[in-house]
Structure 1
Amino acid sequence: MNEQDFSSDPEFEPLPNRAIVYRALLRKQWIDEDTGLVQSEAYYLRKNKNEQGLSVNIASVCSPEQCAAKFRTCYGVARLEVGGIRELGLDVIPDSISHAEIAGLPYAEDDTERADLLADLLAQQSQIIWQP
């Protein structure tokens, strides 16, 4: 077995449920122009990019502005609580001091119904806390 199990990697401590993570909103269509709310499209894994998890930054070591500055174009930064993500049966696995991935999401191509449901629920939990 060569698969790396990040959850047992002692290098990075698991995040507590009360921890906050930030999702950079890198596409304009990820924010509803009328309501200002995060769209579910922000929470789909891209199979064509072989994504294994959704990228998030850890709020305790990265401000919303720092999160946005990592990208050439960022339309907003959304805040999520780790405990709320875990309540959906997903996890947030740190892979560096300031970055983690939301793990456990299916590709829409493999399980459309579950991918749609989880993307919707994550979007509902999101709160935009920074916009340019």
Structure 2
Amino acid sequence: MAESSINPFEPLPADSIIYRAILRKQWIDEDTGRIKADAYFLRANELGLSVNLASAYSLEQCANLFRKCYGIASLEVGRVREIGLNVEQDSPDHANITGLPYQEDNLVEAERLAGLLAKRSRIVWKLE
């Protein structure tokens, strides 16, 4: 039986940079200026966490994809894979971080992985 969701894209190289848009102001810690784990929780209707490929967008272009963007966090694909997750490209300029559990299915693991992603990312653009 043929698999219905064959991904036409090659796996992203480990040194590829991805951008996570910070769409809620509370995802940035006002005291430290760092991204909070909240930015990396999988929502109920999502199969993966939406990220954009840095190779396809400048920081400003990425921010302008959204009605309201408070910042852009960058992550290296290899650093995502180090913690047992993956980044799967689904279009020429977009990918999803996959392998995260939903909070309602496994809160402890969802919090652990979101925290690790937050620690591995850095804010590279912020709304002034």
User: Against the structure 1 CA distance between its residues 27 and 19, is the aligned structure 2 distance closer, same or farther, given a 3 Å change threshold?
Assistant: same
User: Which of 18, 21, 35 does residue 21 from structure 1 map onto?
Assistant: 18
User: Against the structure 1 CA distance between its residues 99 and 111, is the aligned structure 2 distance closer, same or farther, given a 3 Å change threshold?
Assistant: same
Match of 1:121 in 2: 116
Match of 1:87 in 2: 82
Distance in 1, matches of 2:57 and 2:126, equals: 16
How far the C-alpha of 1:106 sits from its partner, in A, is 0.2
Distance in 2, matches of 1:76 and 1:51, equals: 21
2:91 aligned counterpart, secondary structure: coil
Match of 1:67 in 2: 62
Alignment RMSD: 1.4
Distance in 1, matches of 2:46 and 2:2, equals: 18
What stretches of structure 1 of length at least 5 have no aligned partner? none
Match of 1:45 in 2: 42
TM-score between both structures, scaled by the size of structure 1: 0.92
Q: Does 1:36 align with 2:33?
A: yes
Match of 1:55 in 2: 50
What stretches of structure 2 of length at least 5 have no aligned partner? none
Identity %: 59
User: Against the structure 1 CA distance between its residues 41 and 92, is the aligned structure 2 distance closer, same or farther, given a 3 Å change threshold?
Assistant: same
Q: Which amino acid aligns with 1:87?
A: E
Distance in 1, matches of 2:3 and 2:46, equals: 15
Most deviating of 15-24 and 59-68: 59-68
